[in-house]
């Protein structure tokens, strides 16, 4: 038949046949689903930059941001904070009734009680968020000046000249895809070891060996890895390069840019699937901002 | 008007988003159905793509790209779903044809059957390219934009998709005729 007719004309005609109208219930159901779906903040795709500012203004702003980060770090550490992995109270608290006002790990909290962690949250201050829809778990986090909330599950550092500012976030139902360009079917890890095993297979990310530690009073394993210099291999955009698979449909948390570095704390919160605290950075991230981010991680209180 | 709706949707207005989608849903659904060749799976893919669109809407920087962005999401979800389905059904016979068998003066039932079976033999990427080109009328540059590939690659893939379709049709025609003669 293809020798007698033009294939392109056949395809035009054949594909024009078929249903053209979608059932109303499909859109109605979609409307119901988005009512339970958070919108991701724009910063994931729209990093702060200074496209229209002169170099001196950029330098002043970057300097101010760094000073703010250093000051914020000093305030937080001033209370006698300890390094990550040496936080006391190692026993998990799965059955402890949450206090009306979650306890803070820093004595320098500027407000009497935490405010809600939303995109409007601005440091310095202590904020509490319910990061997982429909679940009672909350996390409390103390931010220095210059840091802000990005969602109930993420905070973000001050602007830098880098591709993206530093992020600290909390997550669940993660796994590491075998193929970052096709994460569909990646099953969320049910134990920390499952997650770490999947990560260990990503030799292209050069993951470090897991280090046993504690975070927010829960046993944890900390691991660090770095994405390749080219994360646009999946269709020309880093937005397609999945780092942490979140759902079986292949969606997840994608690369924030080239050579994106991640430190992940995989928490064993008794009685539930792993909880992840993650901090990203880039090779050129200022040390002061990394230090501020680590202090923020150290400030986290998780109430299951 | 759409810009106002889009801005509202980006601020979290669910009703505005639904209004935006209702105006576009038929075209998006028809695209999904043609790639997946199944109404139920097309509905599922469309819903999944629209939920992703809602989730990532704030990241859309250029309002003029909204339609192209939506189409891209739908096509990518369809390709992912078809890829999974292809793995599961690789050794199974093709499914019955969906949709009304509307009479077409240009195509006989035998033609339609051959086209359907030939199309189902293509890879999900090849199906998507043919639908973008022949159903939506996309030029290679638009296909490249939708699939996130260079224009030259889009042209090459379109060529190979046509060649694969022709090979699939010829193979089916040979099977259909006694004696192994080509149609």
Rounded to 10 deg, the angle between the B109-120 and A7-16 helix axes is: 90
Torsion angle (degrees, nearest 10) of CA A194, A237, A169, A296: 120
Q: Inter-chain contact A30–B61, Cβ cutoff 8 Å? A: no
- What is the pLDDT of chain A when averaged over all its residues? 76
> Looking at the 3D structure of chain A, how many domains does it have?
1
Mutate one of A153, A249, A256 to test the B interface: name it (highest B CB count within 10 A): A249
Which residues 14-33 of B have a C-beta within 8 angstroms of A? 14, 17-18, 21-22, 25-26, 28-30, 33
Q: Inter-chain contact B30–A20, Cβ cutoff 8 Å? A: yes
Q: Which CATH architecture has domain B1-99?
A: Orthogonal Bundle (1.10)
Q: DSSP secondary-structure letter at B12? A: T
ipTM of the complex: 0.83
Contacts of B18 in chain A (CB under 8 A): 27, 30-31, 34
d(CA A136, CA B99): 45
CATH code at position A126:
3.40.1000.10
For residue A296, tell me if it sits in a domain. Answer: yes
For the stretch A216-247, pLDDT in tens is 999 999 999 999 988 878 766 666 788 998 87
- Decide if A89 touches B, using CB distance below 8 A: no
Mutate one of B15, B20, B34, B145 to test the A interface: name it (highest A CB count within 10 A): B34
Q: Inter-chain contact B148–A236, Cβ cutoff 8 Å? A: yes
Cross-chain CB nearest to B115 (options A10, A22, A39): A10
Range A68-72 average pLDDT: 51
d(CA A131, CA A40): 12
Query: A271: left (phi > 0), else alpha (psi -120 to 50), else beta?
Result: left
For residue A1, tell me if it sits in a domain. Answer: no
Beta strands in chain B (DSSP E): none
User: Which residues span the domain enclosing A106?
Assistant: 48-303
Q: Inter-chain contact A249–B80, Cβ cutoff 8 Å? A: yes
Which residues 149-208 of A have a C-beta within 8 angstroms of B? 182, 184-185
For the stretch A140-160, pLDDT in tens is 999 999 999 888 888 988 876
Regarding pTM above 0.90, the answer is: no
What residues are paired with A219 via a beta bridge?
A: A214
Using DSSP bridges, classify how beta strands A125-129 and A115-116 pair: parallel, antiparallel or unpaired. parallel
Listed ranges B103-117, B133-147, B159-173; the one with the highest mean pLDDT: B133-147
For residue A37, tell me if it sits in a domain. Answer: no
For residue A114, tell me if it sits in a domain. Answer: yes
For the stretch A7-22, pLDDT in tens is 888 899 999 988 899 9
For residue A34, tell me if it sits in a domain. Answer: no
Residue A99 has what pLDDT? 30
Domain extents in chain B: 1-99, 100-183
Nearest to A183 by CA among B76, B80, B41: B80
Tokens in use for A132? 């997982």
Q: Is the confidence at residue A278, as pLDDT, over 90?
A: yes
Cross-chain CB nearest to B162 (options A7, A14, A35): A7
- Please tell me the distance in Å from A143's CA to the nearest CA on chain B: 24
Residue A96's pLDDT band, with cuts at 50, 70 and 90, is: very low
Residue A185's pLDDT band, with cuts at 50, 70 and 90, is: confident
Residue B183 has what pLDDT? 31
Residue A53 has what pLDDT? 34
Instruction: Report the percentage of chain B scoring pLDDT > 90.
Output: 43
CATH number of the B100-183 domain: 1.10.10.10
Which tops the pLDDT comparison, A111 or A52?
A: A111
Residue A83 has what pLDDT? 32
Element (H, E) at B78: helix B66-88
For residue A29, tell me if it sits in a domain. Answer: no
Q: Inter-chain contact B39–A29, Cβ cutoff 8 Å? A: no
Residue A137 has what pLDDT? 92
Tokens in use for B136? 């939506």
Residue B65 has what pLDDT? 86
Q: Is the confidence at residue B157, as pLDDT, over 50?
A: yes
Range B97-123 average pLDDT: 72
Q: Is the confidence at residue B60, as pLDDT, over 90?
A: no
Cross-chain CB nearest to A235 (options B22, B100, B148): B148
């Amino acid at each position: 038949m293809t020798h007698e007719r033009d294939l392109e004309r056949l395809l035009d005609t054949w594909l024009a046949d078929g249903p053209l109208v979608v059932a109303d219930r499909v859109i109605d159901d979609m409307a119901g689903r988005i009512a339970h779906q958070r919108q991701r903040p724009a910063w994931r795709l729209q990093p702060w930059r200074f496209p229209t500012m002169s170099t001196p203004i950029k330098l002043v702003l970057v300097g101010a941001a760094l000073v703010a980060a250093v000051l914020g770090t000093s305030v937080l550490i001033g209370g006698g904070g300890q390094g990550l992995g040496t936080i006391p109270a190692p026993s998990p608290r799965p059955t402890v009734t949450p206090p009306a006002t979650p306890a803070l790990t820093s004595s320098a909290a500027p407000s009497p009680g935490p405010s809600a962690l939303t995109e409007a949250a601005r440091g310095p201050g202590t904020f509490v968020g319910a990061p997982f829809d429909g679940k009672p778990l909350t996390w409390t986090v103390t931010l220095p000046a210059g840091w802000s909330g990005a969602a109930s599950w993420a905070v973000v550092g001050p602007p830098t000249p880098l591709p993206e500012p530093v992020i600290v976030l909390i997550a669940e139902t993660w796994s590491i895809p075998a193929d970052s360009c096709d994460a569909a079917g990646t099953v969320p890890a049910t134990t920390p070891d499952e997650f770490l095993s999947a990560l260990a297979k990503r030799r292209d990310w050069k993951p470090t060996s897991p280090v046993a530690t504690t975070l927010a009073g829960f046993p944890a394993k900390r691991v660090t890895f770095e994405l390749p210099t080219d994360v646009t291999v999946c269709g020309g955009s880093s937005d397609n390069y999945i780092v942490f698979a979140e759902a079986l449909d292949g969606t997840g948390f994608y690369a924030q840019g080239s050579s994106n570095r991640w430190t992940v704390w995989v928490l064993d919160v008794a009685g539930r699937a792993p909880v992840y605290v993650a901090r990203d950075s880039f090779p050129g991230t200022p040390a002061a901002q990394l230090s501020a981010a680590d202090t923020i991680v150290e400030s986290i209180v998780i109430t299951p | 008007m759409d810009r106002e709706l889009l801005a509202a949707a980006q601020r979290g207005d669910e009703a505005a988003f639904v209004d935006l989608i209702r105006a576009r849903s038929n075209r998006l659904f028809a695209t999904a159905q043609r790639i997946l060749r199944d109404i139920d799976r097309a509905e599922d893919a469309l819903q999944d793509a629209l939920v992703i669109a809602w989730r990532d809407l704030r990241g859309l920087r250029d309002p003029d790209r909204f339609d192209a962005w939506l189409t891209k999401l739908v096509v990518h979800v369809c390709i992912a779903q078809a890829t999974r389905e292809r793995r599961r059904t690789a050794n199974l016979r093709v499914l019955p044809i969906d949709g009304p068998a509307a009479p077409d003066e240009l195509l006989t039932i035998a033609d339609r059957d051959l086209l359907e079976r030939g199309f189902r033999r293509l890879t999900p990427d090849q199906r998507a390219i043919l639908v973008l080109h022949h159903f939506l009328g996309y030029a290679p540059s638009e296909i490249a934009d939708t699939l996130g590939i260079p224009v030259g690659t889009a042209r090459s893939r379109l060529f190979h998709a046509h060649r694969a379709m022709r090979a699939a049709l010829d193979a089916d025609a040979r099977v259909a005729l006694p004696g192994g003669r080509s149609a």
